[in-house]
Amino acid sequence: MKFGKLEDISDVDFSLPCDMPGTREALGKMERPSDQVNFYLGGTGWTMKEWVGTVYPADAKSKDYLKHYSRQFNTIEMNTTHYRIPTEAMVEKWKNESAADFKFCPKIPQTISHSADLGLNTGLIELFAEAIAGLGEKMGCCFMQLPPYFDASRLPLLEKFVKQFPSNIPLAVEVRHESWFDNVKNAVQFFDILEKYNISTVITDVAGRRDALHMRLTTNTAMIRFVGNGLHPTDYTRLNDWMWRMDNWYGQGLQQVYFFLHQAEELHVPEVADYLLKILKPFPRYNIRGPKPLNETVGQQIQLF
């Protein structure tokens, strides 16, 4: 992930900002069906040959990587769909090979998100929605990552999109242009529209764009994209801060979390996931599971720390 990445992070303030006004109200709109929060923890891909022998069994074949990934993590930020609309056969294969409690979070194809009209007059939205509907109960939260040049002046177009997007498919939206964050009026209008149509926000925690760490929830689902810095000590202190913030949101009505881990070296993702899992485990309110690394020589589970 290049968005907001910095070579030198020595001067970055990694503290989490206060919640934006409206978050508490959004979280409290719906009664939580149980005392637990479904917590989905994952990375950005399953084709990691570097994980063979540690996260995947030593004899794992590439064709089986999804099967192994979905038994270690319980969700994925699915970039595959950003580049093409999947076929019915692909979706069926993903569904059949993944663990029973696994959730896919498909990224909307760039032929939609990066087009001049957001695909509103092309039929692509309907085609994509029909394809991913095949995931059934394994459909998590679809999300749209708008390009850096999509600025606040295009809010009316975005509203047309979220209004047309099928309401039976959970959706979250990530904006990147500075105009969404450097003007209070723009931010308020954006978040109000998402809340109006029951669309979640994407919160991105990355060194070089602290404005994207807006801390505004518009539904009782939090989608967080955490961009680490190669196991730098701040990776761990930031996760500690996130633990306490999510616990605060829990008290306000949080029902569901999708937490995606990004690292320049994907080899580091399981270690960061293991740390987050460890600090959340003492809180029984979180229904969570994460990677249990394997001993490369004997194929038994080991601890990373």
Which pLDDT belongs to residue 164? 95
For residue 140, give every residue at least 6 positions away whose Cβ sits within 8 Å of its Cβ, in sequence order, or none.
40, 75, 103, 104, 105, 170, 258
pLDDT band at 259 (very low <50, low <70, confident <90, very high): very high
Cα 116 to chain centroid, rounded:
25
Tell me the average pLDDT of the chain.
Answer: 93
Q: Is the pLDDT at 300 greater than 70, yes or no?
A: no
**Does residue 18 belong to any structural domain of this protein?**
no
Q: Where is pLDDT greater, at 303 or 110? A: 110
* Tens digit of each residue's pLDDT (9 = 90 or more) over 193-250: 999 999 999 999 999 999 999 999 999 999 999 999 999 999 999 999 999 999 999 9
**Does residue 301 belong to any structural domain of this protein?**
no
The three-class DSSP label of residue 260 is strand
**Does residue 9 belong to any structural domain of this protein?**
no
Nearest to 77 by CA among 142, 12, 2: 142
Q: Given the DSSP bridges, would you call strands 37-43 and 103-106 parallel, antiparallel or unpaired? A: unpaired
Amino acid identity for residue 69 in this structure: Y
**Does residue 4 belong to any structural domain of this protein?**
no
Average pLDDT on 20-40 reads: 93
Which pLDDT belongs to residue 295? 55
Domain count within the chain:
1
Average pLDDT on 70-96 reads: 96
The phi-psi region of residue 215 (left if phi > 0; otherwise alpha if psi is between -120 and 50; otherwise beta) is left
pLDDT band at 1 (very low <50, low <70, confident <90, very high): low
**Three-class DSSP labels, 71-85:** HHCCEEEECHHHHCC
Dist CA 103 CA 84 (whole Å): 19
The three-class DSSP label of residue 8 is coil
Cβ atoms of 258 and 39 within 8 Å: the answer is no
Give the other-Cβ count within 10 Å of 89's Cβ. Answer: 9
Dist CA 154 CA 34 (whole Å): 38
* Tens digit of each residue's pLDDT (9 = 90 or more) over 117-173: 999 999 999 999 999 999 999 999 999 999 999 999 999 999 999 999 999 999 999
Dist CA 144 CA 112 (whole Å): 9
**Residue written as token pair 């030593």:** 58
Cα 54 to chain centroid, rounded:
24
Give start and end residues of each alpha helix (H) in 73-220: 80-83, 88-97, 110-113, 124-132, 155-164, 184-196
Dist CA 130 CA 50 (whole Å): 34
Which pLDDT belongs to residue 264? 86
The phi-psi region of residue 253 (left if phi > 0; otherwise alpha if psi is between -120 and 50; otherwise beta) is left
Average pLDDT on 176-198 reads: 97
**Does residue 114 belong to any structural domain of this protein?**
yes
Which pLDDT belongs to residue 91? 97
The enclosing domain of 261 has a CATH number of 3.20.20.410
**Does residue 231 belong to any structural domain of this protein?**
yes
Residue 13 in tokens: 């303030």
Q: Is the pLDDT at 283 greater than 70, yes or no?
A: yes
Average pLDDT on 25-41 reads: 92
pLDDT band at 305 (very low <50, low <70, confident <90, very high): very low
**Does residue 3 belong to any structural domain of this protein?**
no
Give residue 135's domain range.
Answer: 23-287
DSSP 16-60: PPPPPTTHHHHHTSS--SSS-EEEEEEES-S--GGGBTTTB-TT-
Which pLDDT belongs to residue 263? 92
At CB < 8 A and 24+ separation, what contacts does 49-52 make?
Answer: 50/266, 50/267, 51/266, 51/267, 51/270
The neighbouring-strand residues paired with 200 are 172
Which pLDDT belongs to residue 266? 84
**Does residue 192 belong to any structural domain of this protein?**
yes
